Amino acid sequence: MSTTRGLEGIVATTSSVSSIIESVLTYQGYDIDDLADNASFEEVIYLLWNGRLPNSAELSQFTQDLAAQAQIPNEIIDQMKAYPIDKVHPMAALRSAISSLALFDETADVMEEEANQLKALKIQAQIPTIVTAFSRIREGLEPVSPRSDLGFAANFLYMLTGKDPDEIAVNAFNKALVLHADHELNASTFTARVCVATLSDVYSGITAAIGALKGPLHGGANEAVMKMLNEIGEVENVEPYIRKALDNKEKIMGFGHRVYKDGDPRAKHLKEMSKRLTEITGETKWYEMSIKVNEMVTREKGLLPNVDFYSASVYHSLGIKHDLFTPIFAVSRTSGWLAHILEQYSNNRLIRPRAEYVGPNKQTYTPIEQR
Ligand SMILES: CC(=O)SCCNC(=O)CCNC(=O)[C@H](O)C(C)(C)COP(=O)(O)OP(=O)(O)OC[C@H]1O[C@@H](n2cnc3c(N)ncnc32)[C@H](O)[C@@H]1OP(=O)(O)O
Ligand SMILES: O=C([O-])CC(=O)C(=O)O
């Protein structure tokens, strides 16, 4: 038996949801560059789940269907109020709340295709409500109910702040959601597929995926990037900070990628957004520091920024709390997770690889009093 550490390069499934071929990312065959410049997040969800773009009647119906499911059970709000708020990371709160949602859905374990599609719609619609409600609860504020007259991106920002968001913020947030929606067989999507391949339920698949996304080598990197930028503080500190980190063989968050070796196509969009938004807020130092970190890490290590690097200064410029960056990633990636979960169910086989045994052999049991 031979092993490949971290399953690098192993093709573990077929999928028609998204592809990465020669560093070009597509959702159902549509280049991410095209979608980032033109599509609403609702269109992208529809695309990922149906394999084609909606026409305007279909999009309008889909948007209404999402809006109709956006309210979460009061019990979930009450539960979140009971969490030890000041100690709980919003990703942990989200993981628990999504798991709890299943308890209030009588169809959670119904495996028919239609029931699973309805659960997908509910989860996608309710995840922004959960993230924003938790954010407000921990600040001592009441959650803001979703509005059916707002699109997905606008509604998220509205529920977060209780105020109508401006157009620039909505467009930037929509683009960020589009860019994060799916990414082939990344760690959290693989986790979701492994989970539901046992014929476990959709909620379990999403809960497991949230757990995998939370780690700093995956989705948790965006929050870690902002922590690093905060520690650096000023542009002139970049050089000594990064030098020390590299000398100590520390990983620089937001750089490197398992699949892209010549650049993540999403990063250029986020870089441009970071430039624009920091100009608007007047806090250009976040962009300038990011550029300097980027130049130095690329020069010294040959590593390029991934999706998490510039998204940090983008979300910061939108006034979003740093520990909500990864939950926002989850809000977007849920669309991809759900597409993969439905695809897995449609042609399922248990996912069960092997491990090469490297432990001791031929051991003999010794009674406890002789050890
Ligand atoms: C949405 C996403 O999940 S995007 C990824 C988000 N994660 C991060 O940004 C965390 C930082 N980056 C990393 O840890 C890695 O680049 C990963 C996890 C993304 C990819 O990991 P792998 O493909 O397993 O690469 P691996 O960790 O083996 O790195 C290969 C070499 O490059 C180095 N390297 C990789 N990334 C970095 C980095 N960000 N900073 C410094 N060195 C790095 C490693 O130390 C290793 O060096 P070595 O061969 O001398 O030991
Ligand atoms: O594909 C990966 O390994 C990580 C990634 O960029 C993503 O999930 O968006």
Q: How many CA atoms are closer than 13 Å to the CA of 368, on its beta-carbon side?
A: 0
234 shares a domain with 148 = no
Same domain? 105 vs 189:
yes
**Digitized pLDDT (tens) for each residue of the chain, 371 residues in all:** 778 999 999 999 999 999 999 999 999 999 999 999 999 999 999 999 999 999 999 999 999 999 999 999 999 999 999 999 889 999 999 999 999 999 999 999 999 999 999 999 999 999 999 999 999 999 999 999 999 999 999 999 999 999 999 999 999 999 999 999 999 999 999 999 999 999 999 999 999 999 999 999 999 999 999 999 999 999 999 999 999 999 999 999 999 999 998 999 999 999 999 999 999 999 999 999 999 999 999 999 999 999 999 999 999 999 999 999 999 999 999 999 999 999 999 999 999 999 999 999 999 999 999 99
**143, 235: one domain:** no
For residues 150 and 298, membership in a common domain is answered with no
Of residues 180, 183, 218, 257, which has the active-site annotation? 257
How far is 302 from 296, CA to CA, in rounded Å? 9
Q: Which ligand is nearest to the CA of 190?
A: 2
Please give the residue range of the domain that contains residue 97.
Answer: 32-166+177-215+324-346
In a domain, 162, yes or no: yes
Total domain count for the chain? 2
Q: In the annotation, is 33 catalytic?
A: no
Distance CA 28, CA 106 (A): 32
Domain assignment of residue 236, yes or no: yes
130 and 63: one domain? yes
Name which residue sits closest to atom 8 of ligand 2, judged by CA.
186
Q: Does the Cβ of 186 fall within 6 Å of ligand 2?
A: yes
Is residue 21 assigned to a domain? no
Per-residue pLDDT, 3? 87
CATH at 44: 1.10.580.10
Atom 1, ligand 2: which residue's CA is nearest? Answer: 186
**Atom number in ligand 1 closest to CA 225:** 9
For the complex shown, is ipTM > 0.85?
A: yes
Instruction: Tell me, yes or no, whether 61 and 195 share the same domain.
Output: yes
Residue 133 in any domain: the answer is yes
55 shares its domain with 144: yes
User: Are 57 and 128 found together in one domain?
Assistant: yes
Q: Evaluate whether residue 198 is within a structural domain.
A: yes
**Domain annotation covers residue 11:** no
122/250 same-domain check? no
My answer on whether 337 and 208 are in the same domain is yes
Q: Would you mind telling me the total number of residues written for the chain in this entry?
A: 371
Q: Which of 257, 331, 340 is the best mutation target for the ligand 2 pocket, counting ligand atoms within 8 Å of the beta carbon and taking the most? A: 257
Note whether 149 and 262 are same-domain residues: no
Q: Catalytic annotation on 308? A: yes
Residue nearest to ligand 1 atom 23, measured at CA: 258
What pLDDT score was predicted for residue 2? Answer: 78
Residue 305: phi and psi, rounded to 5, are -70, 145
CATH number, position 256:
1.10.230.10
Q: What is the pTM of this model?
A: 0.98
| 222/224 Cα distance (integer angstroms) | 5
